Structure 1
Amino acid sequence: MGKGFFNTPIAVNEPVKTYAPGSPERESVLAAYKEMFNSKIDVPLYINGKDVTTGNTKTLSAPHDHQHVVGTYHLAEKTHVEEAISTALAARTEWANLAWEQRAGIFLKAAELIAGPYRAKINAATMIAQSKTVHQAEIDSACELIDFLRFNVQYMTDIYHDQPESTSDAWNRLEYRPLEGFTYAVTPFNFTAIAGNLPSCMALMGNVVVWKPSDSQIYSAKVIMDVFEEAGVPPGVINVVFGDPEMITETVLASPDFSGLHFTGSTTVFKNIWKEIGNNIHNYKSYPRIVGETGGKDFIVAHKTADAKQVATAIARGAFEFQGQKCSAASRAYVSSNIWEEVKKHVVKDVKSFKMGSPEDLSNFVTAVIHEGSFDKLAKYIDAAKKDADAEIIVGGNYDKSKGYFIEPTIIVTTNSKYTTMHTELFGPVITIYVYDENKFSETLKLVDETSDYALTGAILAKDRYAIQEATKALQNCAGNFYINDKPTGAVVGQQPFGGARASGTNDKAGSVLNLLRWISPRMIKETFVTPTDYRYPYMGE
């Protein structure tokens, strides 16, 4: 076959479609939504390139209409997980030996399938089962996933191009091998793009994968696997199992061939998995790579020179888009006392103007939270704020789960900088605001840094460049993604690599070359051209 140093297409970010009235994309996504909402799918396990049904099923419903069933999915037994592992290991040799440009071609094709024939379907699936508005679905399940697939191919080639220096005596070369064994992807409900990226980026680098999506994301996960299958991912390379997360994880971690975890989800679950890996460390053939992006208690700091309308918009969008269920969503804000009244006026007006309901009505800004457990947790904190002397709800505060899990976008203002909702991750449409003395900016920055265990995203809004510099330095350890004069959400692949530290994860920056480096095991090869025949060195002469 032909050989060459191949150039892949230059990665560019997928343009976000507007879905404006009368646009073709609006018509196509609404048609897909209607058809999918009014039909039922059956989602099997996917092992060795085959659909596997178990007969033990659970239903799939829309959070905004929880009595309406849109499908069922099959639950794995321990034997299915073991089969997924053995299947992956059997596929590894051929997949790892496949030329890199062939792997690149598969995932570039997947990107184009999502950009074209699957776009309406994957967006509609995300709208139905994750209750995202069409805009939130578009920037996630279409654009971000396309970007991950395109840019990861470019990052892969950048890695392969990075080679050591050689001399006339010897040729030095680095071979970027996949990890030995199999990898495990655990993905969350809130981003279809994350669900697609975690297993695919490992597979792109030559690894084989067992993937467990969130129970609340299975509907769009099925579309992802349909795309991967059509794009040409061979049988056994990515295997998908659903069911009891503890059983699945314990079975995976018990295998001596487990070589890596790619995780996005709760901090507690990630720490428990890390602990179990540590307990099993003597059983593994290699030290497993552990990559995780977990929780957040993301902040906005508004300096006394900030524009009040800009602050209000950052709060409205940062806290309430996708019902505050982004890892990066603003859930605490510190607003200078001199601008507070104007900020309050604007943000209350904005929140009261929100429309809430089904994502099928494209005029809605917010929809339902993901499930009843989330709803009940958020209602509990809202009820407590209504009673607490050091908290006041200035807008929102109502909730109703009779049809869907609807929580009104809620703003709590507290006089206690350490109030429970200033440091507890809620993962919903609730933000707590602490109004600080305009003359205590430096002290407030210290407060921001020390209040939360998390360190994912944060933002400073100010016109004063000295204040911006001070905040950037003071808050350097409490936000892996830091925004100046913007909301703390909306990272774009190829532009803002995403991840945080502390209790927010390992900060391996999804959407960058840094993440892909975790899924390879380099081998150094030195080829000497004229091999010595005498052990003696010149210094040994008389």
Structure 2
Amino acid sequence: MVAPAIKPQTDARPYEAKTLSIATALLGATREKKNLFAQMRDQMRWDDKIMDFAMANPGLKVQLFRFIDALPALRSKPEIARHLQEYLSADEVELPNVLKGLLNFTDPDSAPGKLAATTVAPAVETLAYRYISGEKMDQAIKAIERMRKDKLTFTMDLLGEAVITEEEAQAYLQRYLDIMEQLSNAAKNWKTIDAIDVAEGKELSKVQVSVKLTAFYSQFDPLDEAGSRAGVSDSIRTLLRRAQELGVMVHFDMEQYKYKDLTLAILKDILIEDEFRQRDDVGVTLQAYLQDSYDDLKDLVIWAKDRGTPVSVRLVKGAYWDQETITARQNDWPSPVYSQKVSTDANFERMTRLLLENHEYLYAAIGSHNVRSQAYAMAIAEELKVPKRNIELQVLYGMADKLAKTLADQGYRVRVYTPFGELIPGMSYLIRRLLENTANSSFLRQNLEDTPVETLLAAPEFAPGDKEQGGRGDWEPPFPNAADTDYAIAVKRAEAFAALKAVRQQIGQRYSPIIDGEAVTTETFFDSVNPSNPKELIGKVGMASQEQAERAIAVAKAAFPAWAATPAKERADILRRAADIMEARRHELNAWMVLEVGKPLGQADPETSEAIDFCRFYADEMERLDAGYAYDYPGETNRYRYFPHGIGLVISPWNFPLAITTGMTVASLVAGNCTLMKPAENSSVIGAKIAEILYEAGIPKGVLQFMPAKGSTVGAYMVEHPDIHMITFTGSRAVGCRIYAEAAQLRPGQKHLKRVVAEMGGKNGIIIDESADLDQAVQGVVYSAFGYSGQKCSACSRVMVVESVYDTFVHRLVEATRSLQVGIAEAPGTTVGPVVDAAAQAKIKEYIEKGKQESTLALAMPAPDSGYFVGPTVFTDVAPDAVIAQEEIFGPVLAVIKVKDFEEAVQVANNTDYGLTGGLYSRTPSHIERVQHEFAVGNLYINRSITGAIVSRQPFGGFKMSGVGSKAGGPDYLLQFLEPRHVSENVQRQGFAPIEGVD
């Protein structure tokens, strides 16, 4: 079937004169007589002053909005006063005199402190309810009825950003079913108003609700397209059926970019089903700040023509610009949004024209507070004689009230987007509105500040090069990390799944040790199996013998002089080629990790990025270090340079079989050391792939020996060998300590002391204080504790929760964990896969039994019987010195410890032998400052998950019993693989020497 053609766009120029005429009239009717600042000074209301302060001082705005974000969690006046003082006393904040006076107290519990709290907290609440219609339905209904008196209709949005449990997803659906019924009952008493309730002789729905698709399913994830469809589709159908019974229109909001394509695909499929195909009381949203939104609208026009019944398209500019830009920069992705607001405005007009020129297929809902944007839509509508049913204009509640009334007076149906709900879940919405109102580029702000009319109403044009900048503008990262796969893009998902199928065709092969570039035969083999299905052989790996280890060391020793003499630039370029090969084989490498060590795709892909980053970062670092240092004096030159040790032994783990193995190996190699790579037995196939890539990149055969072997025998032999100069190890504490002790022994013929770099795990904790954002905290703890089944050395295994939020946190934590999907690693919906082998499974189960004896089992998730599975397990009421709170479990087991206050939380956090990673969720500046000095961990993460360190950005490594050595991916890591040497030369000859600058 050939898709119907889209009606070609007309030239925009004929609309311009009418647009300016309408916009000038609108502007005159909506402009205030006094400017904003004079108005605020006259009113002297604190809610107005807060906005005044925010617009006048960017540094103060940031701190004010952070305080406002924290305010709903604060439970007493002294707490409010303390946080107000902490936020606004920051060095970068320039305070107006009225705030200086308000904050002039030393004790938050004093009368002046309480006065400050009493002054500011109600002002923020008043400010919030400018943009939120009410906490209770009767308040919201009264607000709606006031709007209806002004001939304004509404769409109601239930506040609440994060649905992190299936319990909350079901509650979200039920609340909307209740809201629709309550509003429908109220609407029975509303007199019909032709301007908003009737169009073209047909009655319209008096009630409209706006819903978020992702709130119907807590595990909504583009990677799991089928599972996400199944998770939301029944709720959507239930909502639409009930809405039809009640005569309610349903509009589906658009959220973050990563959800856009899947959201549109799901809605298109449901709305074309026979049951819903004739419904025209349904709408979807498009965001003009997205660079591909125009194409999305064209696709919707084609789809709507085929459907045969129009749906509404709410066209907005978009509310997540900062978040989308930051997300893109953090992930090294092209930005999905236009980098310049003028480009968004231009795209909005382009989409407005396309939408209205196809009004018989899609109804237009033009959402903007920009007078020109609305005037442009009105001009087109009048020129094309668009029927009243086919267009409406929209504004946000509490913003542009005068514009809304003026538009209604022009005879247009005007709908007010009306948020409803409690302040805490609505805080994210409120902050977005405050940011919008105080942004320099905001039309509302420019209008209030008497920006010249010709500037306000100028036709927007796309900024030159906006798309080509990739969203970074003039920002460049210090180190360009490899970009993780964006699984929101359908073609990337298809490539990933195709790679899984291709790798499945390669499993079961034999892999041998490689010595001097040649595969060698072995007497013993290790069967590497799929932990999701142990009956499935991934590879049969030959285990090197002691004699073969002796030969490998001899080969490396012979190759060392030439490799050490190889210019650092050549060694670095080999690593860069290896990185390029890994990038080209990314999906394949991901697939091997999924199958051999049970790592779900979403966890495997960032590991491939990390391996690539290690290659490129260490290549750069070696070139930097190779330059050395010069300290010259008259008559004397001083040179400080680095040289390799000799032979390095790398003993790598199975939990990061690609990234850690690659990182340790290439660090040793690029420094000029010949290297023996011994992978963990149960990830030896992935080790073989790394060796294959390094050889292909150009590592000389004798320089790298691939040595799969039994650790307790041949591995120990290599550790003790006198010709080994350095051992780089990641693994268990017991093995690491044994290697450290053995390496300290001087063997016959040994002329050096061995270096040991050892990372030996952790018992990592996260503190949740009374001011924490519990949405963030629960999500961060769940991800940190159960990502890759808790088998990351950085995983959260203990969480210290202040008693005032303990019960609330624990309930949401348990329900969020219960919502996770346990299953085979290659299933796209799996969030918790298997543990690595039977021994790990048995050990974890022993700890769970111990936990049952010493604490309360709050949750034990069921797990499949077919593989090495352990369901996520949560213990509460755990004593700080309990076994499960002290010993590394290395599995999906979480201990929750109740503490009295933040002081006790820090003490408990530090009461283990380990010092690897830790975290804090808090919105208290003094707590954030204190943990940076007092939380004894190598990597501290604040208000984010504690796993997923990124090369260069977050160098990784700990101390105490977590390890010895510098941080992987950091500026001094390579120094461990090098010997510094200094050469001082007297350059005088017979009393003369060259002096710089003298002929």
For the criterion TM > 0.5, the same-fold answer is: yes
- 1:177-200 deviation line (CA, Å, top 9, x unaligned): 111x31111000011200111111
Confirm or deny: 8 A CA contact 2:801 2:905 kept in the other structure.
no
Q: Higher relative contact order at CA 8 Å, sep ≥6: structure 1 or structure 2?
A: 1
Contact 1:323 1:367 in 2 (8 A): yes
2:637 — aligned with what? 171
Which residue, 32, 37, 51 being the options, matches 2:519? 51
Alignment map for 1:256-405 (pairs within 5 Å): 256-280=722-746, 283-386=749-852, 388=853, 390-400=854-864, 402-405=865-868
Distance between the aligned counterparts of 1:155 and 1:317, measured in 2? 32
In the TM superposition, residue 27 of structure 1 has moved relative to its aligned partner by 2.1
Once the two structures are superposed, residues 296-330 of structure 1 have per-residue CA deviations (whole angstroms, 9 ceiling, x without a partner) of: 00000111111112111111101010111111000
**Where does 1:346-495 land on structure 2 (aligned, <5 Å)?**
346-386=812-852, 388=853, 390-400=854-864, 402-437=865-900, 440-450=901-911, 452-475=912-935, 478-495=936-953
Deviation, structure 1 residue 69: 1.0
C-alpha distance in 2 between matches for 1:18 and 1:376: 36
- Determine if contact 1:293/1:500 at 8 Å carries over to the other structure: yes
- 1:524 correspondence with 2:982: yes
The structure with more radius of gyration? 2
- One-letter identity of the residue aligned with 2:835: V
Confirm or deny: 8 A CA contact 1:397 1:409 kept in the other structure. yes
Please identify, of 11-20 and 459-468, the stretch whose mean Cα deviation from structure 2 is larger: 11-20
Q: Does the 8 Å CA contact 1:28/1:120 hold for their aligned counterparts?
A: yes
Letter in structure 1 aligned against 2:574: I
- The CA distance in 2 between the partners of 1:502 and 1:532, in whole Å, is 56
Contact 1:113/1:227 (8 A) holds in 2: yes
Worse overlay, 341-350 or 482-491: 341-350
Offset of residue 114 of structure 1? 0.7
CA distance in 1, matches of 2:990, 2:721: 45
1:446–1:474 CA contact under 8 A, matched in 2: no
Q: Which amino acid aligns with 1:187?
A: S
In the alignment, the residues of structure 2 paired with residue 328 and residue 506 of structure 1 have an alpha-carbon distance, to the nearest angstrom, of 16
Secondary structure, counterpart of 2:677 in structure 1: strand
Return the alpha-carbon distance in structure 2 between the equivalents of residues 114 and 354 of structure 1: 31
After TM superposition, the structure 1 = structure 2 runs for residues 15-414 of structure 1, keeping only pairs within 5 Å, are 15-20=483-488, 22-23=490-491, 25-38=492-505, 39-116=507-584, 118-140=585-607, 142-179=608-645, 181-191=646-656, 192-280=658-746, 283-386=749-852, 388=853, 390-400=854-864, 402-414=865-877
Q: Deviation string for 1:496-542 (max 9, x for gaps)?
A: 110000000014100012110011112212232214689xxxxxxxx
- In the TM superposition, residue 282 of structure 1 has moved relative to its aligned partner by 6.5
* Cα 1:21/1:359, change in 2 over 3 Å: farther
Structure 1 residues 246, 280: CA separation in 2 closer, same or farther (over 3 Å shift)? farther
Cα distance in 1, alignment partners of residues 721 and 818 from structure 2: 53
Any gaps of 5 or more consecutive residues in structure 1?
1-8, 535-542
**CA displacement, residues 406-430 of structure 1 (integer Å, 9 cap, x when unaligned):** 1111111124221111011000111
Q: Find 1:502's aligned residue among 936, 957, 960.
A: 960
Q: Secondary structure at the match of 2:800?
A: strand
- Inter-partner Cα distance in structure 2 for 1:431 and 1:515: 32
| Between 33-42 and 78-87, the greater mean CA deviation after superposition | 33-42
Which structure's residues are more often helix, by fraction? 2
Partner of 2:277: none
CA distance in 1, matches of 2:933, 2:749: 43
Partner SS, residue 945 of structure 2: coil
C-alpha distance in 1, partners of 2:489/2:859? 30
Displacement of 1:221 in angstroms is 1.0
Structure 1 position 210, deviation (Å):
1.1
Q: How big is each residue's C-alpha offset from its partner over 1:61-94, in whole Å with a ceiling of 9 and x where there is no partner?
A: 1001111112200011111100110011111111
**Superimposed CA distance per residue, residues 464-513 of structure 1 (whole angstroms, 9 cap, x where no aligned partner):** 111222233221xx210011112211111011110000000014100012
Choose 162-171 or 39-48, whichever is displaced more.
162-171
DSSP 3-state at the match of 2:569:
helix
Q: What CA distance in whole angstroms lies between the structure 2 residues aligned with 1:332 and 1:283?
A: 47
Q: State the Cα distance separating 1:170 from its structure 2 match.
A: 2.1
Query: Could you give the per-residue CA deviations for residues 17-74 of structure 1, whole angstroms, max 9, x where no partner exists?
Result: 1223622x32222222223234322111011111112142121110011111122000
Paired amino acid for 2:815: K
Measure the CA separation in 1 of the matches of 2:742 and 2:749: 12
CA–CA distance in 1 between the matches of 2:582 and 2:615? 10
Give SS of 1:356's match. Answer: coil
SS of 2:973's equivalent?
A: helix
State the shift of 1:253 in Å. Answer: 3.3
Structure-2-length-normalised TM-score:
0.50
Question: Residue type of the partner of 1:29?
Answer: A
Paired with 1:255 and 1:378, the residues of 2 have a C-alpha distance of 34
Match of 1:4 in 2: none
Give yes or no for contact 2:601–2:825 (8 Å, CA) kept in 1. yes
C-alpha contact 2:512 2:542 (8 A) present in aligned 1: yes
* 8 Å contact from structure 1 (residues 357, 367) kept in 2: yes
8 A contact 1:253–1:280 mirrored in 2:
no
Structure 1 distance, partners of 2:503, 2:575, is 26
Q: Distance in 2 between matches of 1:280 and 1:369?
A: 38
Distance in 2 separating the partners of 1:190 and 1:252? 22
Amino-acid identity (%): 28
Higher strand share: 1
Counterpart Cα distance in 2 of 1:415 and 1:272: 31
CA contact (8 A) 1:107 1:231 kept: yes
Distance 1:385 1:274 in 2: 31
Cα contact 1:67–1:403 (8 A) shared by 2: no
Letter of the structure 2 residue corresponding to residue 431 of structure 1? L
CA distance in 1, matches of 2:689, 2:708: 15
Identify the range of structure 1 (270-279 vs 367-376) with the bigger mean alpha-carbon deviation.
270-279
Query: Is the contact between residue 382 and residue 397 of structure 1 (CA under 8 Å) also seen in structure 2?
Result: no
For the Cα contact (< 8 Å) 2:532–2:866, is it kept in 1?
yes
* Contact 1:152-1:513 within 8 A present in 2 as well: no
Mapped partners of 1:101, 1:10: distance in 2: 20
Deviations 1:188-228 (A, max 9, x none): 00112001111111100100011111011112111111111
Q: Which runs of 5+ in 2 are unaligned?
A: 1-476, 993-999
Contact 1:456 1:501 in 2 (8 A): yes
Return the alpha-carbon distance in structure 2 between the equivalents of residues 21 and 404 of structure 1: 31
Contact 2:674 2:703 (8 Å CA) reproduced: yes
Partner SS, residue 306 of structure 1: coil
- What SS does the corresponding residue of 1:497 show, helix, strand or coil? coil
